[in-house]
């Protein structure tokens, strides 16, 4: 079974002839991706990854994950942006809602905490408190090996672990995922004797979840990464087809592009399951970083329903009409939680006792769809048969491909991130990193320092 795309609730805003008009353009964009002839073609390793990934590396990841599961109570995952969000999205989507809080007899795998994705001293201090007295393994992930936030978090946690296990002891507990030959993290790993995993040269950060970047932490959480890859592989086959009618991923790319050109410049990704919260965060990075350049691009936002129907719902229903929604709709029944009958119907809910909580969640989805349609918000629906490892992999590939195609439709390079580099360079300059002295003086002047 497949993930499908339904744009019937956008047909009041666009016509099928407009979609048809883009067929030849889609064909070109498809060829640019597959023949590697478009902008950013050095970073297209993700396109064929599900078919040609390094099977040995995947086995090594599985073995290491098992070792970490046996050796530690806690795994700390250090990384930011593309070196963080995919793994977190998978673990949140596919694990127990209160994973870290489960008692040991209910969770055979380590607690998982993330670090290096902020620069908060309080967060680090609290993390150190929570891991006190527990056995720890750590996976540090950085393609460049020089990103400030994870590098600092790693330095602190490395010192903590060396203090606990000794320099020899940590060799067996620190795992580095980085470039195969370059960068500070690679050099350090060689010096210190850490086991390393490779981020392929031609896969950029935000497209890297289906490599060791995502797979090691995901596997430690007990998630079947073979199944994730299987789902991605099915998507790879299903979506390797430039016939728009048959390719739901390309339909999504085309429809969002048409809406954007009609002034719908904000896309809101909607979920009805809290476990999909980080999927929204991952998606925002993927699309925001790929399309937001040259003063163009859809602004990607996300909401979590029904929670946010009681806050952002007002804006979506009634605010400025420059938005459209893309709903992640889970088709299968979630859990069968019944609504109990009460003798005295004091809260007036007895009329719902034939229904499950999930029925009502799905009812909210349908009711909201119509309300927002009436309010002038085109709604796009991505139908996901169920929440599973397989469909996580399928969805990741679906969005990655839609993003590449969308970027080419927009006329940008979807695979670079000059804006992120601009911040990183300013940061190095301001902190006084060697090699940045010249720019520093000028920057201090601008900051009146």
Q: HSE-up of 23 (CA within 13 Å, CB side)?
A: 8
How far, CA to CA in Å, does 87 sit from each of 92, 126, 322, 448?
9, 22, 32, 41
How far, CA to CA in Å, does 28 sit from each of 89, 128, 408?
32, 52, 9
**Which member of 111, 273, 281, 289 is catalytic?**
289
CA–CA distance, 438 with 20 (Å, rounded to integer): 53
CA–CA distance, 293 with 253 (Å, rounded to integer): 17
Tell me the closest approach of the beta carbon of residue 446 to ligand PA5, in angstroms.
Answer: 24
Q: Cβ closer to ligand PA5: 30 or 206? A: 206
Residue with the shortest CB distance to ligand PA5: 81
Which residues of 338-419 form beta strands (DSSP E)?
379-384
Q: Cβ closer to ligand PA5: 234 or 291? A: 291
Q: Are 88 and 99 in contact (CB under 8 A)?
A: no
Tell me the closest approach of the beta carbon of residue 212 to ligand PA5, in angstroms.
Answer: 12
Q: Cβ closer to ligand PA5: 145 or 313? A: 145
- Residue 66 is a catalytic residue: no
- Residue 104 is a catalytic residue: no
Long-range residue pairs from 263-266, CB within 8 A, at least 24 positions apart, any chain: 263/322, 264/13, 264/322, 264/323, 264/324, 264/378, 265/298, 265/299, 265/322, 266/298, 266/299, 266/301, 266/322, 266/323, 266/324
Tell me the closest approach of the beta carbon of residue 182 to ligand PA5, in angstroms.
Answer: 11
Q: Which residues contact 178 (CB under 8 A, 6 or more apart)?
A: 140, 141, 142, 143, 145, 185, 186, 189, 196, 197, 198, 199
Which SS3 state, helix, strand or coil, does residue 304 take?
strand
Alpha helices in 172-247 (DSSP H): 184-192, 212-220, 225-238
Q: Are 231 and 94 in contact (CB under 8 A)?
A: no
Q: Cβ closer to ligand PA5: 257 or 417? A: 417
Count Cβ atoms within 10 A of the Cβ of residue 442 and give its class: 0-12 exposed, 13-18 middle, 19 or more buried.
exposed
The residues binding ligand PA5 (CB under 6 A) are 80-83, 142-144, 147, 150, 204-206, 289, 417, 420
Q: Cβ closer to ligand PA5: 178 or 251? A: 178
Strands 323-330 and 379-384: parallel
Quote the DSSP letter at residue 338: B
Tell me the closest approach of the beta carbon of residue 185 to ligand PA5, in angstroms.
Answer: 8
Alpha helices in 179-224 (DSSP H): 184-192, 212-220
Q: Are 132 and 99 in contact (CB under 8 A)?
A: no
CA–CA distance, 398 with 86 (Å, rounded to integer): 14
Measure the CA angle with vertex 124, ends 121 and 125; round to 5°. Answer: 85
Q: Are 62 and 218 in contact (CB under 8 A)?
A: no
Q: Cβ closer to ligand PA5: 72 or 429? A: 429
Tell me the closest approach of the beta carbon of residue 173 to ligand PA5, in angstroms.
Answer: 21
CA–CA distance, 139 with 118 (Å, rounded to integer): 16
Q: Cβ closer to ligand PA5: 301 or 420? A: 420
Count Cβ atoms within 10 A of the Cβ of residue 314 and give its class: 0-12 exposed, 13-18 middle, 19 or more buried.
exposed
Q: Cβ closer to ligand PA5: 154 or 250? A: 154
Q: Cβ closer to ligand PA5: 81 or 231? A: 81
What residues are labeled active site? 289, 424
């Amino acid at each position: 079974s497949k993930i499908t795309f339904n744009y019937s609730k956008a047909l009041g805003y666009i016509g099928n002839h407009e979609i048809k008009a883009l067929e030849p353009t889609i064909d070109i964009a498809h060829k640019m991706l597959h023949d590697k002839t478009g902008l950013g073609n050095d970073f297209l390793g993700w396109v064929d990854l599900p078919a040609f990934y390094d099977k040995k590396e995947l086995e090594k990841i599985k073995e290491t994950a098992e070792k970490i599961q046996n050796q530690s109570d806690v795994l700390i995952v250090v990384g930011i942006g593309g070196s963080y969000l995919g793994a977190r999205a998978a673990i949140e989507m596919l694990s127990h809602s209160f994973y870290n809080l489960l008692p040991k007899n209910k969770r055979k795998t380590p607690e998982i905490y993330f670090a290096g994705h902020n620069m908060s001293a309080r967060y680090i201090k609290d993390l150190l408190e929570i891991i006190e007295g527990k056995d720890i393994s750590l996976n540090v992930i950085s393609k460049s090996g020089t990103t400030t936030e994870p590098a600092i978090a790693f330095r602190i946690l490395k010192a903590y672990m060396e203090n606990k296990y000794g320099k020899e002891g940590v060799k067996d507990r620190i795992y580095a995922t980085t470039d195969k030959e370059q960068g500070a993290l690679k050099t350090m790993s060689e010096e210190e004797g850490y086991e390393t995993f490779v981020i392929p040269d031609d896969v950029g950060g935000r497209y890297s979840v289906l490599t060791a970047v995502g797979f090691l932490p995901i596997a430690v959480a007990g998630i079947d990464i073979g199944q994730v890859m299987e789902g991605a592989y099915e998507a790879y086959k299903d979506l390797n087809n430039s016939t728009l009618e048959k390719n739901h991923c390309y339909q999504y790319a085309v429809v969002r592009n048409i809406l954007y050109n009609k002034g719908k410049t904000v896309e809101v990704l909607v979920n009805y399951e809290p476990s999909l919260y980080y999927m929204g965060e991952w998606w925002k990075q993927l699309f925001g970083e790929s399309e937001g350049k040259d003063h163009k691009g859809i602004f990607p936002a996300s909401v979590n329903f029904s929670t946010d129907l009681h806050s952002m719902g007002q804006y979506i229903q009634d605010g400025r009409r420059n938005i459209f929604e893309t709903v992640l709709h889970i088709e299968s029944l979630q859990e069968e939680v019944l609504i109990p009958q009460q003798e005295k119907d004091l809260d007036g809910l007895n009329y719902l006792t034939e229904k499950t909580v999930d029925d009502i969640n799905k009812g909210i989805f349908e009711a909201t769809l119509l309300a927002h349609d009436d309010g002038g918000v085109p709604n796009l629906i991505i139908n996901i048969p169920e929440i599973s490892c397989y469909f996580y992999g399928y969805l990741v590939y679906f969005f990655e491909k839609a993003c590449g195609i969308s970027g080419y439709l927009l006329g940008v390079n979807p695979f670079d991130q000059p804006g992120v580099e601009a911040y990183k360079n300013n940061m190095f300059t301001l902190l006084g990193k060697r090699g940045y002295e010249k720019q520093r003086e000028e920057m201090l002047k601008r900051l009146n320092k």
